[in-house]
């Protein structure tokens, strides 16, 4: 009888243990499923964050490149504006001196073609500077603004860094090149515009254009040309 009771107790305990085990397995499975789902959510969020970060980086890069392009374009505009500006604009003793363009060349044939006044195939005018010299041409405006003095070309000087002085040469040939020549007579009034020519040493540099008035002197340092 005691043996039967003992066996019955053992069977009861075994069943209880089996049920507990099943419950634990179910809980473990549920826990594992929950962890798997949580991991999946975390992975999805991480992937989304990575994609968002990548998109942000791409946008920032695109914006930076666009800003850089705008800056370069702006620099090009500034450069173009500076190149198009007059070289010098100064008023002295009631005369406005505007230096617009400069040209330096051994042959005036080349100057004419470079400036677009004549074409290579149509230009048959050739004028060469003396040995060791080149032509230095200045396009300028001279506007009288209340001055009591006239402009005498003999007093207009071009001086290099070595102290050599040059005066305007007889440049009537400029009209043969299709260029507008500044009047060669004294300027007493009004607005005057055109080219004037000098013949200078080939290696001359540090050129300064000057004109002495009674009250003050006009002086303009010109850039060196190749």
**Residue 64 carries which DSSP code?**
H
- pTM assigned to the model: 0.60
Whose structure tokens read 């363009």? Answer: 101
Nearest to 138 by CA among 100, 190, 186, 193: 100
Cβ proximity of 210 and 217 under 8 Å: yes
pLDDT tens per residue, the chain (226 residues)? 444 444 555 444 444 444 444 344 344 444 444 444 444 444 444 444 545 444 544 544 444 444 444 444 333 333 322 334 689 999 999 999 999 999 999 987 766 566 666 554 445 567 899 999 999 999 999 999 999 999 999 999 999 999 999 999 999 988 888 889 999 999 999 999 999 999 999 999 999 999 999 999 999 999 999 7
């Amino acid at each position: 009888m005691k043996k039967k009771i003992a066996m019955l107790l053992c069977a009861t305990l075994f069943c209880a243990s089996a049920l507990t085990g099943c419950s634990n397995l179910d809980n473990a499975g549920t826990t594992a499923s929950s962890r798997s789902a949580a991991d999946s959510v975390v992975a999805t969020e991480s992937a989304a964050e990575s994609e968002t970060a990548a998109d942000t980086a791409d946008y920032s890069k695109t914006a930076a490149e666009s800003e850089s392009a705008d800056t370069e374009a702006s620099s090009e505009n500034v450069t173009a504006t500076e190149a198009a500006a007059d070289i010098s604009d100064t008023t002295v003793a009631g005369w406005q001196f505007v230096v617009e363009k400069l040209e330096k060349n051994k042959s005036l044939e080349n100057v004419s073609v470079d400036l677009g006044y004549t074409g290579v195939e149509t230009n048959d005018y050739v004028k060469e500077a003396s040995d060791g010299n080149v032509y230095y041409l200045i396009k300028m405006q001279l506007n009288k603004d209340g001055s009591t003095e006239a402009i005498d070309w003999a007093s207009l000087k071009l001086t290099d860094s070595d102290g050599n002085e040059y005066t305007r040469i007889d440049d009537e040939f400029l009209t043969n090149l299709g260029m507008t020549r500044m009047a060669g007579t004294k300027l007493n009034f009004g607005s005057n515009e055109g080219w004037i020519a000098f013949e200078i040493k080939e290696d001359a540099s540090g050129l300064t254009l000057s004109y002495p008035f009674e009250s003050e002197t006009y002086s303009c340092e010109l850039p060196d040309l190749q």
